[in-house]
Amino acid sequence: MIEVEKLSKRYEGRPVLEGINAVFSPGEVTALVGPSGGGKSTLLRCLNGLESFDGGLVRVGPDTLAPGDVRAQGEKVRRIRRRVGFVFQQWHLFAHRTALGNVTEAPMHVKGVGRQEANERGRALLAKVGLSHREDAYPSELSGGEQQRVAIARALAMEPEVLLMDEPTSALDPERVGALIDLLEQLLADGLTLVAVTHEMRFAYELASRVLVLHGGHIIEEGPPARVLANPHHERTRAFLGLGRVPALRTLGA
């Protein structure tokens, strides 16, 4: 479970997150959506101690991060990063390690797991993401979708309670978006908590149990995807989703 209380963050004196309160419960899938610059990626990075903040708290299980803790980089931050996995938008795989090497690196070097055990678990994870046949391939030999699946297996290798994903669909064609949704659905059956920043409404609609809309550093709306995406209450959410603009498009096409 992650709890965020009155979280605020400024860049160069400019507020980018203001008084954010949110709870991410076990097994829940949250899609963070909203217009560009609204603070989605910044909030995501605050949830596992990748980003420092100026006010409020982030509670991850028994550990509480306060302003200044992230800069200090203490043991608490390291514990939180182990509990909360992160899949970056560009995956950031180690170019000189195979798919299996990428997946076993952190358990061996951060958790001190022995090579044989790390390899066994790594192979099981690569099987889970459908990549058993590619375990000896290097990232440059893998497709974008395959690299992403290695990045997901690598994050899962640390056995996180929560997985954070920044724009998981941005580099995928529509067919691969469907495959990613299927894969995550399988992984979620194991009880993982997922928080994803996304611009892909299909992803939010099909996978999320709830949608949070961020605008100007505030959560302006939240609720189940079927309600928020089909019948948003906030005018800014309606504008972001392009609702009410269809007649104008029809005129253009006529």
Ligand X SMILES: Nc1ncnc2c1ncn2[C@@H]1O[C@H](COP(=O)(O)OP(=O)(O)OP(=O)(O)O)[C@@H](O)[C@H]1O
Catalog residues that contact ligand X under the rule CB under 6 A.
11-12, 16, 36-42, 197
Taking the complex as a whole, the smallest distance from the CB of residue 108 to ligand X amounts, in Å, to 32
Q: Closer to ligand X at the Cβ: 27 or 37?
A: 37
Taking the complex as a whole, the smallest distance from the CB of residue 41 to ligand X amounts, in Å, to 3
Taking the complex as a whole, the smallest distance from the CB of residue 208 to ligand X amounts, in Å, to 17
Q: Closer to ligand X at the Cβ: 16 or 125?
A: 16
Q: Which of 154, 195, 145 is nearest to 45 (CA)?
A: 195
End-to-end CA distance of the chain: 51
Q: Closer to ligand X at the Cβ: 41 or 64?
A: 41
For the record, the structure tokens of 154 come out as: 């690598």
Distance CA 98, CA 109 (A): 16
Q: Closer to ligand X at the Cβ: 84 or 240?
A: 240
Taking the complex as a whole, the smallest distance from the CB of residue 247 to ligand X amounts, in Å, to 27
For the record, the structure tokens of 40 come out as: 């989605």
For the record, the structure tokens of 238 come out as: 């309606």
**Which neighbouring-strand residues pair with 85?**
163
Residue 41 phi, psi (nearest 5): -65, -35
Q: Are 138 and 96 in contact (CB under 8 A)?
A: yes
